[in-house]
């Protein structure tokens, strides 16, 4: 369970990272829209786990590796934006948010179930 402080800090990070990716995401991944779906912060606010979703990109693992390779640069830009609000700039850990893929997989399963012949109820 995250505290109010963690949630508030995660929201600040999410907004500022979204602005960074909106302006400079083209430099990291051309023709790809990077969306920050969720940010989780440790209780000591030292580590921020950022979940990303990539649109218009076929290989999300490669995109994630590209973002990870630029993580120090992204952290520096984040620090420049939030330096007056925090004491320590958190380390950034990036992950792929596979919620969209999970939803698609579940939709296919439900569709398959609904197409199967229904057995009449026997009582």
| pLDDT value of residue 122 | 60
Q: Does residue 120 register a pLDDT over 80?
A: no
Is residue 21 situated within a structural domain? yes
Domain of residue 61 covers 4-115
Q: pTM of whole model > 0.85?
A: no
Closest C-alpha to 91, from 25, 55, 42: 42
Is residue 13 situated within a structural domain? yes
Is residue 121 situated within a structural domain? no
Return the CATH number at 93. 3.30.300.20
The model's pLDDT over 63-100, given as tens digits with 9 standing for 90+, comes to 999 999 999 999 999 999 999 888 889 999 999 987 77
Q: How many independent structural domains does the chain possess?
A: 1
Is residue 89 situated within a structural domain? yes
Q: Does residue 24 register a pLDDT over 70?
A: yes
Is residue 10 situated within a structural domain? yes
DSSP 8-class letter at 51: E
Task: Tell me phi and psi for residue 46, to 5 degrees.
Answer: -90, -25
Mean pLDDT, rounded, of the chain:
88
| pLDDT value of residue 123 | 56
Is residue 122 situated within a structural domain? no
Is residue 120 situated within a structural domain? no
């Amino acid at each position: 369970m995250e505290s109010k402080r963690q949630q508030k800090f995660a929201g600040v990070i999410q907004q500022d990272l979204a602005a960074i990716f909106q302006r400079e995401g083209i430099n990291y991944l051309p023709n790809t829209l990077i969306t920050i779906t969720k940010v989780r912060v440790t209780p000591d606010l030292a580590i921020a786990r950022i979940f990303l979703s990539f649109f218009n990109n076929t290989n999300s693992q490669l995109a994630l590796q590209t973002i990870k390779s630029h993580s120090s640069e992204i952290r520096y830009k984040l620090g420049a934006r939030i330096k007056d609000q925090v004491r320590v700039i958190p380390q950034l850990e990036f992950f792929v948010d596979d919620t969209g893929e999970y939803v698609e997989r579940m939709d296919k399963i439900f569709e398959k179930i609904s197409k199967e012949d229904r057995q009449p109820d026997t009582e």
